[in-house]
């Protein structure tokens, strides 16, 4: 079977509707299907932020992570500054802490005293790697310290959390939208962090349960692959973009297959 036919066959077998995790943690499907949602939402992002951000070079690990990255808080803050710069956010206006694990451990005792509002926060923190919260002085981003030694995953998580600052902190996005978190994931792709997001979409549970994997983001791996394909189409990338070599294998084959179909459809409509 030709290689591209194999790509298409595997991608077809793995097509599933987009599911968005909420904090209960129920799952929701996008109205009209995830691919239509991606196209409509990318259109909205293009209207909001214009083509300049979209057309900046896509970010690759070697662009952000130095060879001597040592897993320290200072090294992680340097990555944070680069994420903020790409998204036109002043890093000094955000309080960044690497204490999400500690927060999760402290919450159960706090809940006994502070009531149901904190129960919502507790449920959120238990399953997340990053958390953005509005504050009177400086908005706060908390990240799991376990990510300090995983710089590519850390960049993806920071891109999502800084996306909160851009979309929610600015009032561009209403907090009651059911697709709020998924749209923030998509904004990270639009801003050039799609390689990091897609490669970090899942992680293994280190509890001896072999093969058990959970989603890190609200867009799943297949939806992030489709998002990257549509991102490449909007950028008028010719043939296969060179950056696809940076994608994990499963992400790469889905992205290539979807991009091929999108280009076929665009040519047929002309």
What pLDDT, in 10s, does the model give residues 47-106?
999 999 999 999 999 999 999 999 999 999 999 999 999 999 999 999 999 988 766 554
- Confidence (pLDDT) at 267: 86
Query: How many CA atoms lie less than 13 Å away from 101 in the CB half-sphere?
Result: 6
Q: Is 186 exposed, middle or buried (0-12, 13-18, 19+ CB in 10 A)?
A: buried
> Across all residues in the chain, what is the average pLDDT?
79
- Confidence (pLDDT) at 66: 95
- Which tokens in the block code for residue 189? 């792709």
- Confidence (pLDDT) at 112: 37
Give the residue with greater pLDDT, 176 vs 248.
248
- 30: pLDDT confidence band, cut at 50, 70 and 90? low
Query: How many CA atoms lie less than 13 Å away from 50 in the CB half-sphere?
Result: 2
pLDDT of 208 > 70? The answer is: no
pLDDT of 113 > 80? The answer is: no
What is this structure's pTM? Answer: 0.80
Q: Is the dihedral of CA 65, 70, 76, 81 positive or negative?
A: negative
CA–CA gap between residue 45 and residue 230 (Å, rounded) = 13
Residue 10 main-chain phi, psi, to 5 deg: -65, -40
| pLDDT average, residue stretch 216-228 | 87
**CA proximity to 65, closest of 82, 53, 89, 87:** 82
- Which tokens in the block code for residue 240? 């296969």
Helix (H) or strand (E) holding 97: strand 94-97
- Confidence (pLDDT) at 104: 52
Q: Is the dihedral of CA 208, 195, 255, 164 positive or negative?
A: positive
**Three-state DSSP class for residue 238:** coil
CA–CA gap between residue 35 and residue 189 (Å, rounded) = 15
| pLDDT average, residue stretch 235-258 | 91
CA–CA gap between residue 80 and residue 143 (Å, rounded) = 11
Q: How far apart are the first and last CA of the chain?
A: 30
- Confidence (pLDDT) at 139: 92
pLDDT of 207 > 70? The answer is: no
């Amino acid at each position: 079977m030709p290689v591209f036919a194999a790509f298409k066959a595997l991608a077809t077998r793995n097509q599933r509707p987009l599911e968005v995790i909420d904090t209960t943690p129920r799952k929701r499907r996008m109205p009209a299907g995830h691919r239509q949602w991606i196209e409509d939402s990318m259109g909205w992002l293009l209207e909001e932020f214009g083509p300049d951000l979209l057309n900046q070079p896509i970010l690759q690990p070697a662009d952000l992570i130095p060879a001597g990255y040592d897993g320290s808080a200072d090294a992680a803050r340097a990555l944070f500054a680069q994420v903020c710069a790409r998204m036109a956010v002043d890093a000094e206006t955000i309080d960044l802490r690497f204490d999400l694990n500690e927060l999760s451990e402290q919450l159960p005792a706090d809940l006994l005293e502070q009531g149901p509002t904190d129960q919502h926060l507790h449920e959120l923190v238990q399953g997340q790697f990053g958390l953005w919260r509005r504050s009177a002085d400086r908005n706060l981003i908390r990240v799991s310290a376990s990510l300090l030694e995983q710089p590519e995953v850390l960049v993806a998580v920071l891109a999502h959390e800084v996306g909160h600052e851009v979309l929610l902190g600015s009032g561009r996005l209403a907090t009651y939208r059911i697709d709020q978190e998924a749209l923030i994931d998509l904004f990270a792709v639009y801003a050039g962090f799609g390689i990091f997001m897609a490669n970090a979409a899942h992680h293994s549970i280190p509890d001896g349960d072999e093969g058990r994997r959970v989603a890190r983001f609200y867009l799943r791996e297949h939806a992030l692959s489709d998002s990257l394909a549509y991102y490449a189409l909007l950028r008028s990338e010719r043939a296969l973009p060179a950056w696809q070599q940076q994608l994990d294998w499963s992400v790469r084959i889905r992205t290539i297959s979807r991009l091929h179909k999108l280009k076929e459809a665009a040519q047929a409509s002309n």
